[in-house]
Amino acid sequence: MKNKRIIILRIVIIILILCWMNLVFGFSAQDSDDSSNLSTWVASWFTEDVEAQTKIEPYIRKLAHYSEYAIGGTLFFSLIATFKINEFKQIIFAIIMGIIYAITDEIHQLFVPGRSGQIKDVFIDSLGVITGVFVMKLIIMLLGKLIVKPKNKVE
């Protein structure tokens, strides 16, 4: 019964990872105008001043990179954590999976009109992945402490 639950959990996480990958691919497939318009639209939430929007738009783009890959890091670690391998390897495998996807995402952008693959974006994405991995590791540790019942001690 426990194995069946683990398999179902893995399938659900894989589906979530595929949805996340599709979302990232979709953002990366936007041409430069569409991508810029989306960032400017988000900037308009913070200020109506067009000049200020132009100034904060690059930061919004980088924050978007970081955030979307932090989500990816949580998903990759959630999947790897379902396997019985030591914690250090779980962390390393999840980070490597996220970085590989970040690299392929930047390569993909080389083929999109007006976009370019940038190494600095891979670094920002990687930082997001690492953050997501450690946040999920912390969540799993805390849940483990809350869920695991202490064993009865015989005095």
pLDDT at 55: 84
Tokens (6 digits) for 6: 């683990």
pLDDT at 150: 60
pLDDT at 57: 84
Sign of CA dihedral 10, 70, 131, 149: negative
Distance CA 84, CA 92 (A): 14
pLDDT at 117: 87
pLDDT at 151: 61
Question: Are the C-beta atoms of residues 76 and 94 closer than 8 Å to each other?
Answer: yes
Domain regions of the chain by residue span: 2-138
pLDDT tens for the chain, residues 1 to 155: 678 999 999 999 999 999 999 999 999 998 878 877 788 888 888 888 888 888 888 888 899 999 999 999 999 999 999 999 999 999 999 999 999 999 999 999 999 988 888 999 999 999 999 999 999 999 999 998 888 766 655 55
Distance CA 70, CA 125 (A): 8
Whole-structure pTM value:
0.86
pLDDT at 153: 55
The half-sphere exposure of 49 on its side-chain side, counting CA atoms within 13 A, is 5
pLDDT at 134: 97
Per DSSP, helices labelled H in the chain are 2-29, 32-43, 50-80, 87-109, 119-147
**Which letter does DSSP use for residue 113 in this model?**
T
